[in-house]
Structure 1
């Protein structure tokens, strides 16, 4: 399940004001001093995705990544958005390529 706070929805609605809303993907990013973590990116729906829609905002996550992370929680943070999961990401997530396993061939 993808859970999005009201404040995060408001921020994203403001971002899309005056333009067509695009689906927002929850995916993995690796590297840097923070290691593996979840992030948001604009993307298109792909086979193997789970999705949830709040008003005009659609959130996507790869089915395999969703099974690994459990529930995902999106909120506003100090610098942008805070994306956390029921089961924290970290070691063992190398089986997902960049993008969180979006490839339709998987």
Structure 2
């Protein structure tokens, strides 16, 4: 239902060596390029499912989890990648950031 790769665990542990350990929220956000799944430091809410992996709590809103499971967090190259079974549609912008686009 929820997985964090060894490389992602390593990178997150490295981050928390110099920062206070707090829960990480996995969430769906709408951007110029369409819907994406992201990660952010956050606090627990009543509607969250909590997964503890290698001492770190990951928060996923229960309704989102129903639609997105399984969710996988990985680290590739220089960044994190969060994937799920959820189909994410593209955005409606012609040219993100260009004059007259929906993102400017």
Aligned residues between the structures:
90
1:18-45 deviations in whole A, cap 9, x for unaligned?
Answer: 332110000112122x310100000001
Unpaired stretches in structure 2, ≥5 consecutive residues? 91-104
User: CA 1:19–1:79 in 2, change beyond 3 Å: closer, same or farther?
Assistant: closer
2:30 counterpart of 1:30: yes
The whole-number CA distance in structure 2 between the counterparts of 1:84 and 1:29 is 13
TM-score by length of 2: 0.79
Query: Which residue is 2:42 aligned to?
Result: 43
- Please say which of residues 69-78 and 7-16 is displaced more in the overlay: 69-78
The correspondence of residues 1-106 of structure 1 with structure 2, limited to 5 A, is 1-32=1-32, 34-90=33-89
The whole-number CA distance in structure 1 between the counterparts of 2:61 and 2:21 is 20
The structure that is strand-richer by fraction is 2
User: How far 1:87 sits from its partner (Å)?
Assistant: 2.5
Unpaired stretches in structure 1, ≥5 consecutive residues? 92-106
Structural RMSD (CA): 1.5
If you compute each CA radius of gyration, which structure gives the higher value, 1 or 2? 2
